[in-house]
Structure 1
Amino acid sequence: MLDPKVFEEFSGRLASLLAASPAADIEKNVKAMLGAFFSKLDLVTREEFDVQAQVLARTRDKLKDLEARIAALEQQGR
């Protein structure tokens, strides 16, 4: 197995090499282009999506409860 320190050292050296190369500029430009592209789209973050999914689940549960209450009230009225 690899020693984590060796992996960290290798990763650090690789990052410093990339930072000094044109690849860093290319990465920055690609990130900027993608950021501009995605900002034009109507997207939500994963966190926002998860929150809305929880709200929807609670709403569905409440709807089921209300439907059951209405059914019970209708049975009483007959």
Structure 2
Amino acid sequence: MLDPKKIEDIARQIGASIPPKFREVADDVEAKVKAVLQAKLSSLDFVSREEFDVQRQVLLRTREKLEALELQVQQLLAAQAADKTE
């Protein structure tokens, strides 16, 4: 999910772009834009950058463990084959 602070900043920027004579409704517009953005973005299937980075680290650690286990299996199979030839 996107950072709520970023959504507030986007809503504020949109509100600030409203001409001065409509400034009194800018707060209402800002709040409504924020609500719409949050609703639409929450319905999308996105993850935050933080969640992505965490999952990436988990995947890297898992890959490292898998490679270590594959090496162990190869060593065990080699040792087993050596024992059979003796």
TM-score scaled to structure 1, two decimals?
0.65
- The question of 1:30 aligning with 2:65 is answered no
- Deviating beyond 4 angstroms after TM superposition, the runs of 4 or more aligned structure 1 residues are none
TM-score scaled to structure 2, two decimals?
0.60
Count of residues paired in the alignment: 61
- The question of 1:40 aligning with 2:48 is answered no
Alignment gaps of 5+ in structure 2 = 1-12, 17-21, 82-86
Q: CA deviation at 1:38?
A: 1.3
Partner of 1:50: 53
RMSD, matched Cα = 2.1
Alignment gaps of 5+ in structure 1 = 1-14
Percent sequence identity over aligned pairs? 49
Q: CA deviation at 1:74?
A: 0.6
Q: Deviations over 1:29-73 (max 9, x none)?
A: 222111101111222221111111100000000000000000111
